[in-house]
Amino acid sequence: MQDNEYLIPWDKNSIDVKYTEVLILGSGIAGLFTAINLSEKYEVTILTKKNIMESNTEHAQGGIAVALNLEDSPESHYGDTIKAGGGLCNIDAVKILAEKGPNCVRKLIELGTQFDRHDDMLDFTTEGAHSRKRVLRAKGDATGGEIERALVEKVRNSSVQVKENYFVIDFIKNNDNEVIGALVLDNNCKMEAWLSKTVIIATGGLGQLYKHTTNPAVTTGDGIVAAYRAGAELMDMEFIQFHPTALLIPGVPSFLISEAARGEGAKLLNSQGKRFMESIPGQELAARDVVARAIWEQMKTGTVYLDFSYINSQKVQERFPKIYKTCLQYGIDISTTPVPVGPAAHYIMGGVKVDNSGQTSLVNLYACGECACNGVHGANRLASNSLLDGLVFAEMITEKIKQETRPLPRWGDAKSFTNHVKSNKRYKTDVERIRAELREIMWDRVGIIRNTEGLSDAYARIERLKEVYVPRVKIPELELGNMLTLGSIIVKSAFERQESRGGHYRSDYPEPLEDWRKHSVYKKGEKNVSYVAI
């Protein structure tokens, strides 16, 4: 597997070319909100991997954190975010998040999002590491779905063009190293080139690299790794957040059990039916990395459960209807029976390195949402800050792009790539086997607790998997190529950070160290990870 600028060879003389002023990849909260904001001034096209509703946004349960409660303030939200971030937050980005958040959420409400209310007032709840009730929710535990519904409805009634079942392969550049568009597979698996003045990556995360994840099937990191191949810098790729509580039943897909459950009073029990978080500051509402590791430790001796019986049974069904119905399908009535839970890969704090306006290190290429990293989440994202991140920095991108003027690029300036080193391998890639092995490696060796031996083993095994990978123009194989590349990058970043901080925990370096209070930066063609001081 070669570390090329493009994943597969292509010839610009045999590709259909499309044009749009603004090209947005992804249809979660970040992509949709950006599209809505820009559609009054520009011709905007969204390309999305599956249907427009399929994203991490739609799967978000807990809510969106924002300082709109009269008893709250942006300053308090700022402080909680910094504290959760393990000393690695971009202070300016956190200020932007906390201060611009309220107005962005008001816009969300104006666009038709119906958050839960009590006595006609917005109803706020508490989640882990928040010092105030500041988390808005919708339909109990279906916040992401309600936000997605409202934004999709607005987009469908706007001038925004939406193309579903489009897969981004790579970014197209000109001879000046500027991004001028994207190479994609259309809904008939035919290769197309989309050229635009501005390209915005909003493709979400990479949870599918892990055996256990709360993320949907589309999250294979395609936008992140396409930016890497194009030469964009990646930042903080070692910081993966593992949600403490996902449904854990053998043979059953991981399903998120919202942190809001613990916010409402649900308690964690070990295999003996005893609580084990009482001695830990914050108890069940400690930061996610703390709770995840505590559960992981208890799982060595048996199953861990989340007990909803501490909450009134009627309230359980009203407050968590989605969780209640899902668990009932598997024979568990959460209002009376503790739920078996365990950690699962949930969110990456790292991603494509961007400034506070969403600009990547490549001209004309922007990123926002989970695929982007400006350091706002530091080493550990504060619960329910992800949806707000998508909103606020979509707004920042909008403000930046509206200040720019540039012509549509010319197809004649595009650089194609036809000189891949040809493989003498005659066999097809065993996609399912390699993908399953990669996910096992990442979970066992690059998961909640890491060490030198495990990371070294993971890197060697992933490199061996790359040797038998032969790319073809088929989406499962292209996804696998992306996942293998990202696996190596995460392992390398985790290996070189010799400390523990937030979502990155090393059993051989168990303490955070002041000398490591810096962001990791990785770029294609560079042998080692570099670092930028806070």
* pLDDT surpasses 80 at 228: yes
Once rounded to an integer, what is the mean pLDDT over residues 411-427?
Answer: 66
* pLDDT surpasses 80 at 175: yes
* pLDDT surpasses 90 at 301: yes
Catalytic residue among 137, 262, 288, 381: 288
In the prediction, which pLDDT does 1 show? 62
Once rounded to an integer, what is the mean pLDDT over residues 140-146?
Answer: 88
In the prediction, which pLDDT does 201 show? 98
Match 């928040």 to its residue by tokens. Answer: 130
Once rounded to an integer, what is the mean pLDDT over residues 6-17?
Answer: 88
**Amino acid, single-letter form, for residue 370:** E
- Measured distance CA(166)–CA(151) in Å, rounded: 20
Once rounded to an integer, what is the mean pLDDT over residues 360-383?
Answer: 97
* pLDDT surpasses 80 at 424: no
Q: How far is CA 374 from the centre of its chain?
A: 13
Match 């309600």 to its residue by tokens. Answer: 146
- Residue by residue, DSSP assigns 349-405 as S-EEE--TT-B-SSTTEEE-STTEESSTTTTSPPTT-HHHHHHHHHHHHHHHHTT--
Q: Which of the four pLDDT bands, split at 50, 70 and 90, describes residue 119?
A: very high
In this structure, is the dihedral angle defined by the CA atoms of residues 481, 483, 486 and 488, taken in order, positive or negative?
Answer: negative
Three-state DSSP string of 479-494? HHHHHHHHHHHHHHHH
pLDDT tens digit sequence for 40-95: 999 999 999 999 987 767 666 679 999 999 999 999 999 999 999 999 999 999 99
Contact 109, 115 (CB under 8 A): yes
Rg, C-alpha atoms of the chain: 22
Residue partners of 237: CB distance under 8 A and separation at least 6: 348, 350, 351, 486, 489, 490, 493, 520, 522
* pLDDT surpasses 70 at 156: yes
Measure the N-to-C terminal CA separation of the chain; round to a whole number of Å: 35
Residue 207 per-residue DSSP state? G
In this structure, is the dihedral angle defined by the CA atoms of residues 382, 282, 213 and 378, taken in order, positive or negative?
Answer: positive
Task: Kindly report which listed range (176-180, 346-350, 472-476, 516-520) carries the lowest average pLDDT score.
Answer: 472-476
User: pTM of the predicted model, to two decimals?
Assistant: 0.95
Distances (CA, A) of 288 to 53, 241, 292: 27, 8, 6
In this structure, is the dihedral angle defined by the CA atoms of residues 327, 329, 330 and 335, taken in order, positive or negative?
Answer: positive
Domains of the chain plus CATH, in order, are 241-345 (3.90.700.10), 422-512 (1.20.58.100)
In the prediction, which pLDDT does 421 show? 45
Strands (E), 28-178: 44-47, 64-65, 117-118, 121-122, 124-125, 135-136, 161-163, 167-173
Residue partners of 11: CB distance under 8 A and separation at least 6: 416, 418
- Residue by residue, DSSP assigns 432-501 as HHHHHHHHHHHHHHSSSSB-HHHHHHHHHHHHHHHHT----SSHHHHHHHHHHHHHHHHHHHHHH--S-B
* pLDDT surpasses 90 at 429: no
Once rounded to an integer, what is the mean pLDDT over residues 193-220?
Answer: 97
In the prediction, which pLDDT does 416 show? 76
Residue 52 per-residue DSSP state? T
Q: Which of the four pLDDT bands, split at 50, 70 and 90, describes residue 471?
A: confident
Once rounded to an integer, what is the mean pLDDT over residues 159-172?
Answer: 97
- Measured distance CA(236)–CA(268) in Å, rounded: 30
406 is catalytic: no
Partners of 172 in the β-ladder? 181
Assign 142 to helix, strand or coil. coil
**Amino acid, single-letter form, for residue 217:** A
Summary count for the chain: helices (H), strands (E): 14, 23
In the prediction, which pLDDT does 418 show? 61
In the prediction, which pLDDT does 427 show? 56
